[in-house]
Structure 1
Amino acid sequence: MDEQSVMHEFEQWLEQYLNFEKTPQKDALWLDTMRFLCAEFHQPQNAYKSIHTAGSKGKGSVSVLCASVLEEAGFNTGLYTSPHVSDIRERIGRASGFLSEAEYGRALKNFIPAADFLTAKKLEDKKPATWFELMTLFCFVCFRDCAMDWAVFETGLGGRLDSTNVLFPEISVLTLIELEHTEYLGNTLEQIASEKAGIIKPGIPVCCARQSPEVKAVFKNTAQKTGSPVFFLDEVIESLEYFPLSSKKEMYFGMTDETESTADKIQNGAVQKVRLVFKKPASENKAFFSRPLSFGLKLAGDFQAENAALAALVLKTVLPDLDEKVIEAGFEKAFLPARFEIASFRDKNGGGTVVIDGCHTPNSVRGTLKSFYSRFGSGCHLLFACAADKDVETLAHIIRLSDCAFSRITLTVPGGVKASDYEKTRKSFEAVFGAAFLCGSPDYEAEIRGALKHAENENKVLLAAGSFYLAAEVKKCLQTFG
């Protein structure tokens, strides 16, 4: 049995449990069951040091950046992220890729029988276990069995009642907060921030991205109540410069003698260059960083530069002696699927380029559009789909106001799993674009293939955006395109 089939067996077993990613439900978040399960499995989440990340935007990127650096430093490091795009193993692995067949198989061998036994007992008086709880529990067990030194965990939904919040990490991380999942987390930034701040643990340091004043106040207040040292990126950073890389000439632009060795390494896959300077402490305390950081990133956009800055702050907070060269090298290797992922496709008539991005919130869409324009300019093609619970009216306006000025827009649904409303999407786009540049249908397989073909025929770059579920379908189509 190969490693994909080992995890395929696990995925099939999980399907018997309620999956809120596919069928969201209100009042469906709790921790009692997770605490019970972790106790029955002898607290596997405590077998390694951990970093715990929550937020509305960027938590997956910050997590993979941290894990990549820890791996570069020589630590056996696990990485837990969600959702997966093409393969369930994307959720449980390392920054450098999947675990081995033996590692998945060893953990799975005893996990399923034990979990079956516990869930058959109805977890005593606890609420029934869910898909995400058992996925998270398996990750805890798998990382313990792999003898991880460190593990980096991204929350699923929220923070306070997320299944990962049984962790007692070395550090908590809070990325950018915006209005999202309001039906579950609250209708204001303060309410959502309060849910996310639920991952802050007594006495454990917390690092925060730049935040709006109302969110910052919530985080400061929570940290004060828990006695947790809190660091805000905007208060410790001096400068952050970034620019897209589209040629070797640009690749070396702005490099100083001290970082030319870094320039030599930015050869394969980097899409932007980042230079980062942290403030020197006002007191006589030793500075976190001995020099500015300069590195390439495969993760594109100004928001990814911000994510890297936050990850650097996190790493130096928990490992103050970590060498800056290790941080730079780790950042340069970090990658996540469907985060401005540039892919090529070919058939007998030629081929083209598609940028795949799972952006689905207003800020993430703005960031992706900005990165796309800076690299490919205007007049390209767009393939868009989003889930039914997204603010598609706002997203359509953001796309209309962007510099991208797409010459063709194809609308569809994000696959056959996630609930969607094609008519709502079409009407929202027609309201701001008119019908001239729009086409599409709910037949996502045909529309994806058609969008790729039109981009090829017109020699245009295609941006596929709006949902990780759409990203998965695009990647699947690329495997058989032609």
Structure 2
Amino acid sequence: MTYRETLDFLYTQLPMFQRIGAAAFKKDLTNIKLLLDALGNPERQFASIHVAGTNGKGSVTHLLGAALQAHGYKTGLYTSPHYKDFRERIKINGDYIPRREVVRFVDAIQPLLATVQPSFFEITVAMAFNWFAQSKVDMAVVEVGLGGRLDSTNVLLPELAVITNISLDHQQFLGDTLPEIAAEKAGIIKPGVPVVIGETQRETAPVFRATAQAQNAPIYFADQLFQVKARHSDLATTTYEVFRQQQLYTPELRTQLHGPYQYLNLQTALAALEVWQHHQPQHLLPFSAVEQGWAQLRTLTRFQGRWQVLAENPRILVDSAHNEGGLRAILDTLNQQTGQLHIVLGVVNDKKLDEVLPLFPKGARYYFAKAAIPRGLPAEELRATAATYQLHGRSYTSVKNALRAARRAASPADTIFVGGSIFTVAEVL
């Protein structure tokens, strides 16, 4: 197969959560274990850090990867989903997996497909682990796809587990309460493997402590170790002041991360690196590598889609936050922008609109669109539901058309925000 034919096969012939939703969700790890067994268990051939959480896990994964890469580690990153290019999911030192390797891998596993019947996600996980092992990475930072306990990435025995935070999302798979969701995320905690929890949350901390105790796993809460405060932001970087247990740690930490929520992810990443080195003393990672890596985060890791400024006059901002916790942080900051706020909004069809639409400002002008995936909610349906929350605007035939309309309507002092789902954002990057 050619590369294009290989992608078409992956997207159309295999169950894919981003395309069809719940039907692609597997309730056990049987398939991924069969795949990896047939490949010679590549997941056992490299060291790893495993990152889960409702919000921030992608940012934390890239922060850890950038710091490791800056210090000279050959660093694999596995993240999902992708924005524009399938190969974004699998990177080594910021370089995408080669097209020829994608083709070779899918061709090689064809004999397994009839018996194993893997999903799209299971194949991409196996592809990533195989590429990391084949390339002899020093460390892989692996982001959980959904949940934790039953996620295909949960075949790893990592050197460190990280759980960023817990918010309501994917309740149909993970549970309807924060403790239930936390229990699923806590499934990545392994016997004796230290775990860093990003945020101390009253409802979820007992779940994590109990799981860690049962697994004899040392547990740390990042926000009790590090406190990070934003000091200055421009288009290039945001500068933070860092405290360790209330004592000044560094007065100026520059990063290419923007967004009102990123201080939480920085706290989590700082704690993760400290805990990892404490329990793996053979790894030495000077703070200078952290500073260098985070100042060049987007350059080193090709990180995108989070509080990303696409243009000025008017300012066009995109962010792929899509659940209550992530959207609340975004919208609190958007409400502080000067000028008129224009919001290009598209969501998936299983989104609980009654949880997210009340968060949006009534004074904004809305441009509703359906992302170009089968799971996208029709724009007119979104517009009609939003109107019941006093969120008014027009529906458009595509995300790009909605953005064009917003740009025509906006004055130079206004702000245009594009979001609601990663698939909406992907169409304007």
TM-score normalized by structure 2?
0.90
Change (3 A) 1:80 1:10: farther
Aligned to 2:370: 413
CA distance in 1, matches of 2:256, 2:330: 14
1:295 aligns with 2:253: yes
Q: Percent identity?
A: 28
Amino acid across the alignment from 2:107:
P
CA distance in 1, matches of 2:317, 2:59: 17
- Verify the 8 A CA contact 2:228 2:266 in the aligned structure 1: no
Change (3 A) 1:461 1:149: same
CA distance in 2, matches of 1:337, 1:7: 24
- Verify the 8 A CA contact 1:54 1:158 in the aligned structure 2: yes
Aligned to 1:227: 216
Deviations 1:441-471 (A, max 9, x none): 344443232223333x665331101111111
Change (3 A) 1:13 1:434: closer
- Verify the 8 A CA contact 2:160 2:276 in the aligned structure 1: yes
Aligned to 2:281: none
SS at match of 1:164: helix
SS at match of 2:373: coil
State which of 343, 347, 366 in structure 2 corresponds to 1:386. Answer: 347
1:431 aligns with 2:427: no
Amino acid across the alignment from 1:340:
W
SS at match of 2:311: strand
TM-score normalized by structure 1?
0.81
1:269 aligns with 2:267: no
CA distance in 2, matches of 1:151, 1:19: 24
1:341 aligns with 2:308: yes
- Verify the 8 A CA contact 1:177 1:211 in the aligned structure 2: no
Aligned to 2:289: 326
SS at match of 1:78: strand
Aligned to 2:31: 33
CA distance in 2, matches of 1:322, 1:373: 39
Change (3 A) 1:419 1:207: same
- The CA deviation at 1:399 is 1.4
1:452 aligns with 2:424: no
Aligned to 1:310: 268
- Verify the 8 A CA contact 2:166 2:178 in the aligned structure 1: yes
1:355 aligns with 2:317: yes
Aligned to 2:197: 208
- The CA deviation at 1:290 is 10
State which of 10, 18, 38 in structure 2 corresponds to 1:14. Answer: 10
Taking only aligned residues, the RMSD between alpha carbons, in angstroms, comes to 2.4
Change (3 A) 1:279 1:388: same
1:84 aligns with 2:88: no
Amino acid across the alignment from 2:291:
E
1:9-158 equivalence runs, <5 A:
9-15=5-11, 16-25=13-22, 28-94=26-92, 97-99=94-96, 101=98, 104-105=99-100, 107-108=101-102, 110-120=104-114, 122-123=115-116, 128-158=117-147
CA distance in 2, matches of 1:298, 1:142: 28
CA distance in 2, matches of 1:69, 1:135: 25
- Verify the 8 A CA contact 1:207 1:232 in the aligned structure 2: yes
1:177-188 equivalence runs, <5 A:
177-188=166-177
- The CA deviation at 1:46 is 1.7
CA distance in 1, matches of 2:383, 2:96: 41
Runs of 4 or more, structure 1, over 6 Å off, are: none
State which of 413, 419, 425 in structure 2 corresponds to 1:465. Answer: 419
CA distance in 1, matches of 2:376, 2:170: 14
Change (3 A) 1:444 1:130: same
Equivalenced residue count is: 418
CA distance in 1, matches of 2:343, 2:291: 33
